[in-house]
A and B are shown apart, each in its own frame.
Chain A
Amino acid sequence: MRRTLFESFAHGPLTEPSPGAGEAELAELAQSVNRAARTTLGRSLSIRQVDAGSCNGCELEIHALSNAFYDIERFGLRFVASPRHADVLLVTGPVTKNMREALLRTYNAMPEPKWVVAAGTCAANGGLFAGSYAVAGGVKNVIPVDLHISGCPPRPVELLRGLLALLERP
Chain B
Amino acid sequence: MTVLGHIPYISLAGGHRPWPRALVGDEGWHAAIDRLAAGELTLLGLWGDAGTVHMALLDEASDIAVLSYTCNDGKYPSVGANHAPAVRFERAIRDLFGLDAAGSPDTRPWLDLGFWDVEQPLGKRAAARKTASYAFLPAEGEALHQVAVGPVHAGTIEPGHFRFTANGEHIVRLEQRLGYAHKGVESIMAGASLEQAAKLASRVSGDSTVAYAFAFAMAAEAALQVQAPPRAQYLRALAAELERLANHLGDIGAICNDASFALMHAQTSILRERTLRAADACFGHRLMMDVIVPGGVAREISPDGISQVRGLLAEIRKIFPRLVELYDNTASLQDRTVTTGIVRPEYARRFGAGGFVGRASGRKFDARRMPGYLPYGDLAFETPVLEAGDVNARVWIRIREVEQSLSLIEQILGRLPGGKIRVSAEPKRAECEGLALAEAFRGDVMAWLRFDADGRVARCHLRDASWFQWPLLETAIKDNIVADFPLCNKSFNCSYSGHDL
Contacts of A1 in B (CB 8 A): 263, 326, 329-330
Mark contacts of A123-155 with chain B using CB atoms, 8 A cut-off: 1 yes-contact digit, 0 otherwise. 000011101111100000000000000001101
- Inter-chain contact count A-B, CB under 8 Å? 152
Chain B proximity mask over A93-134: 1 for CB below 8 Å, otherwise 0? 110111111110110000000000000000000011101111
Within the complex, which residue of A68, A103, A128 is in contact with B266, where a contact is CB–CB below 8 Å? A68
Q: What residues of chain A lie closer than 8 Å to B207, measured between beta carbons?
A: 56-57, 60
Whether the pair A52, B159 counts as a contact (CB closer than 8 A) is yes
A62 and B156 within 8 A (CB): yes
**Other-chain contact of B188, A103, A106, A131, A155 (Cβ < 8 Å):** A131
Contact of B121 among A53, A99, A133, A155 (CB under 8 A): A133
Binary contact readout B322-346 vs A (1 if CB under 8 angstroms, 0 otherwise)? 1100100110000000000000000
Residues in B with CB closer than 8 Å to A106 are 152
A55 at the interface (CB under 8 A from B): yes
Question: Are A94 and B183 in contact, CB atoms less than 8 angstroms apart?
Answer: yes
> Is there an interface contact between B200 and A128, defined as CB atoms closer than 8 Å?
yes
Q: Does B151 contact A (CB under 8 A)?
A: yes
Q: With A1-B263, A59-B156, A81-B154 in contact, is A67–B269 under 8 Å at CB?
A: yes
Docked pose: A54 CA to B185 CA in angstroms: 12
Given A81-B154, A102-B180, A56 and B286 contact (CB-CB distance below 8 Å): no
Contact of A152 among B121, B266, B289 (CB under 8 A): B289
Contact between B183 and A132, CB atoms less than 8 A apart = yes
B159 & A51 in contact (Cβ 8 Å cutoff): yes
Q: Within 8 Å CB of B156, what residues of A?
A: 49, 51, 59, 62-63, 79
CA distance A94 to B270 in the complex (A): 30
A4: interface (CB < 8 Å): yes
Assuming the A-B contacts A1-B330, A3-B322, A134-B183, are A64 and B276 also in contact, with contact meaning beta carbons closer than 8 angstroms in the complex? yes
- Docked-complex contact A96 and B206, CB < 8 angstroms: no
Task: Name the distance in Å between B396's Cβ and chain A's nearest Cβ.
Answer: 19
- A-side interface residues, number (CB < 8 Å): 51
**CA of A147 to CA of B110, assembled, Å:** 34
Residues of A within 8 A of B227 (CB): none
CB proximity to B under 8 Å, residues A39-78: 49-64, 66-69
Q: For the complex, is A14 an interface residue (Cβ under 8 Å from B)? A: yes
The residue that B151 contacts in the complex, of A3, A99, A152, with Cβ under 8 A, is: A99
Q: List 13 A-B contacts (CB under 8 A).
A: A49-B155, A52-B159, A53-B181, A53-B182, A56-B205, A56-B206, A57-B209, A67-B269, A98-B180, A98-B182, A129-B183, A132-B184, A134-B182
Show the binding face of A for B, using Cβ within 8 Å.
1, 3-5, 14, 49-64, 66-69, 79, 81-82, 93-94, 96-103, 105-106, 127-129, 131-135, 152-153, 155
Q: Which residues of B contact A (CB under 8 A)?
A: 113, 115-118, 121, 151-152, 154-159, 179-185, 187-188, 196, 199-200, 203-207, 209, 250, 263, 266-267, 269-270, 272-273, 276, 286-287, 289, 322-323, 326, 329-330, 495-497, 500
